[in-house]
Structure 1
Amino acid sequence: MCVQLQYIRAIAALLVVYFHAILQLENLNPDAPITDGLFGKSGVDLFFVLSGFVMWITTSDKPQSVADFWWKRVRRVVPLYWAVTLAAAFVALIVPQILRTTQFDVPHILASLAFLPWLHPADPAGEMIAPLIVPGWTLNYEMYFYLLFGLCLLVPVRHRIVAVTALIGSVFLVANLVPESTAARFYGDTVIFEFVAGMVLGRIYKAGVSLAAPVVAVGVALGFGVLVFNDYNDFDLPRLITIGMPAALIIFFSTAIRIPDLKAWRWLRLLGDASYSIYLTHIFTLAGSRMIYPWVIGTLQSDTLFVVLMMAMSTAVGLASYFLFEVPVGRILSSGNLPRFVRPAKVRNV
């Protein structure tokens, strides 16, 4: 696996944390100058393209059953997500004032645990499609992609990208033809094709495409420049075009070169390893930051330093979650001590 993928995961997670930190500060002090620098939602698009890329390069030459693939995805995604969802539900029930954008609603909680798109009951406009843990909307797309990708493992490798694209495209087309509904709005969003872009890039990578270091550096820099520019300006165009395409550009150039696992960059690799924990737990940290805001501002006299502090705290909590929950639970679930799906005999892909 390319070590640079972990670097990009870390950057993607920090972008999302920054985005939500600015939104939190905007609630606390709308006049803070730093709130004008709102960007970072594009970290999600990097995750989507990366998911398609990783799913392709880890399965294209390693035959596995559909059930085994799904189990690996479930044990990777579900434990931490269910833990934070149930924790948020408990907080919403006992001390709802802590999580102001969260309500205890049983149908919503069940839909969240099942990765089903659902209108968030805390949205006064009744338009936001999100689970109890709002950033978890991305996991609804992830699990949807894993479902379709897993089914297409039954298809020969040479036809697999076409098969996945056809499935995603068919659902997308139907969702845009039927009367508007929550499911139609969710599955009819072009953002889902960012996973397809990742698969295509994975195939290019497996073909051995390689570029010179200066070309890679310019390409990655250009990609991030366009990504942040479009993210900040929030153009009224499909997200696939404005953010998805530069995200794909970044993944293409960053994987077009082989780099060693440099010791000086291992802290970034560690953040990449913990990116899932950082992503899911940071909303709790940011919610808690409301309580310390008056003290921090009274002491530091700087909204910018408050944002930096929120990002540092979110990273620390995410790392703690990674080492204390994600790693040990993942080790238990991947051990041979638990019942596993019955695996059919492996068949060589053609």
Structure 2
Amino acid sequence: MQHNAETMTGVIVPSIHSIQYLRALAASAVVCFHVSEQFDGPFSVGAAGVDVFFVISGFIMWVTTASRPADPVGFIGRRITRIVPLYWIVTFMTAAAMLIKPQFFYDQLLSPLSLGRSLFFLPLLQDGALHPVVLQGWTLSYEMMFYLVFALTLFLGERWRLGVLVGSLTIIVALHFVLPEGYARSFTSPIVLEFAAGVILARLWLQDVRLSFGLALTLLGGGFLLLAVIPLVDADMPRVLRWGIPAMLIVAGAVFAERARPFRPVALFSFLGEASYSIYLWHALVAVAVTGITLRLGVLPALQPALIVVLSLVFSAMLYLVVEKPLIRALHPSRPKGIKRGKETPLTQAADT
């Protein structure tokens, strides 16, 4: 049977173990992508882990706030205390490493301006893309923008909230096609629609929509199949279509398959899901250190990519236990245990319920 958990409001909500599994998978895929990129490998599809994260983020933010008293200020406060402390730690550590070993960071830029703007999710543009000190931190700029829009819709009644939220995200994307190249346009990427997709899935899930187990698995498998096939058909397809649609199918298939046939979670996968924010933030810095060690030890080049992936995952997960988990306990002492409906995203660990 599917386990239930009680939120701080006393509402009994079901756990969604598949969300944690997908977070673990998405974080691992991004690690593989970056290591593959480092060695000019073929695993570019691993970057789609970010798109899965975005869909999950929309899903969980809607589920955690539905049918509960609106608290926009509290919502933003929880998001900030959940995301910012670890991000700042990793950013300062990365900046220190760049100063000590700049040759390990290629064309990455470090200046007081780039550091300051990175800390506040307004990184400098480089080649038309957001370019924070922690390179993968560009996704958090979109997350924070989504949280801001989401918080504003919490001032509305539930009757209007979904339409206004999805409409606002659609308008933001529409601006992408009329704004000139520049900083404002960089925040209007169509990837923002992946948050909206997650919100819509959450609305359907909360309305107790049910799919047969076979149909849900078809959606899940279809999503993975599209990830593999679309680049072969049209490698230049816009990201929101190339990876966003498969990500939506994967999340939908996973949560509705679990609803149709609940399962007992595997501890390792659940742990990696809990550690996914740390894995996502730390892995690039850890991979630099591991690469240096493998080169010093003379590890065979053919073995280096797999070894770097495994050790990056292991050490980043350890940093979750050593750094992030104590931060969570200190900043959210009343946070319930377990993986609840009230948990968070891909990139930003579980939300406070």
Give the whole-Å Cα distance in 2 for the aligned partners of 1:323 and 1:280. 14
Q: 1:11 corresponds to which letter in structure 2?
A: L
2:320 is equivalent to residue 314 of structure 1: no
Contact 2:294 2:304 (8 Å CA) reproduced: yes
2:25 paired residue among 3, 6, 11: 11
Report if the CA contact (8 A) 2:37-2:43 is conserved. no
Q: 5+ unaligned residues in a row in structure 1: which ranges? A: 27-34, 121-125, 337-350
Which residue type is aligned with residue 46 of structure 2? G
Residues 1-350 of structure 1 aligned to structure 2 (within 5 Å): 1-26=15-40, 35-120=41-126, 126-184=127-185, 186-230=186-230, 235-256=235-256, 257-258=258-259, 259-260=261-262, 262-263=264-265, 265-294=266-295, 298-299=298-299, 301=300, 303=302, 305-335=303-333
Structure 1: distance between partners of 2:204 and 2:187: 27
Post-superposition CA distance 1:213-252 (Å, at most 9, x none): 2322232112112123335777212211111111111111
Q: SS at 1:188's partner residue? A: coil
Q: Could you tell me whether the CA contact under 8 Å between 1:171 and 1:188 is conserved in 2?
A: yes
2:104 and 2:37 map into 1 onto residues whose CA distance is 16
Q: 2: distance between equivalents of 1:74 and 1:276?
A: 14
1:232 and 1:310 map into 2 onto residues whose CA distance is: 28
Larger displacement relative to structure 2 (126-135 or 44-53): 126-135
CA deviations 1:51-83 (Å, max 9, x no partner) are 000001111122231110001111111111111
Which has the higher relative contact order, 1 or 2, with Cα contacts under 8 A spaced 6 or more apart?
2
Match of 1:98, SS state, is helix
AA paired with 2:291? R
> 2:7 aligns to what?
none
Contact 2:45 2:227 in 1 (8 A): no
> Which shows bigger deviation, 140-149 or 206-215?
206-215
Deviations 1:284-333 (A, max 9, x none): 1221233234466x55x462x42221121111122112111111111111
1:37 and 1:232 in contact (8 A); partners too: no
Cα displacement (A) at 1:98: 3.1
Match in the other structure for 1:341: none
- Asked whether the equivalents of residues 173 and 193 of structure 2 are also in contact (C-alpha less than 8 Å), the reply is no
Per-residue deviation, 1:182: 2.2
TM-score, normalised relative to structure 2: 0.84
Measured in 1, the distance between the counterparts of 2:294 and 2:318 equals 23
Given that residues 39 and 232 in structure 1 are in contact (C-alpha distance below 8 angstroms), is that contact kept between their aligned partners in structure 2? no
Determine the C-alpha separation between the residues in 2 that align with 1:116 and 1:234: 32
* Equivalent residue number for residue 348 of structure 2: none
Q: Give the C-alpha shift of residue 86 in structure 1.
A: 1.1
Deviation at 1:176, TM superposition (A): 3.1
- Report how far residue 127 of structure 1 moved: 3.4
- Check conservation: 2:114, 2:123, Cα contact below 8 A: no
Quickly say closer, same or farther: Cα 1:74–1:233, change in 2 above 3 A.
Answer: farther
Of stretches 94-103 and 105-114 in structure 1, the one that deviates more from structure 2 is: 94-103
Percentage of pairs with the same residue: 34
Decide which moves more: 15-24 or 204-213: 204-213
Following superposition, the deviation at residue 277 of structure 1 comes to 0.3
Tell me the number of residue pairs that the alignment of Structure 1 and Structure 2 aligns: 318
Residues 17 and 311, structure 1, Cα contact 8 Å, conserved in 2: yes
Gaps of 5+ in 2: 1-14, 335-353
What amino acid is aligned across from residue 99 of structure 1 in structure 2?
A: F
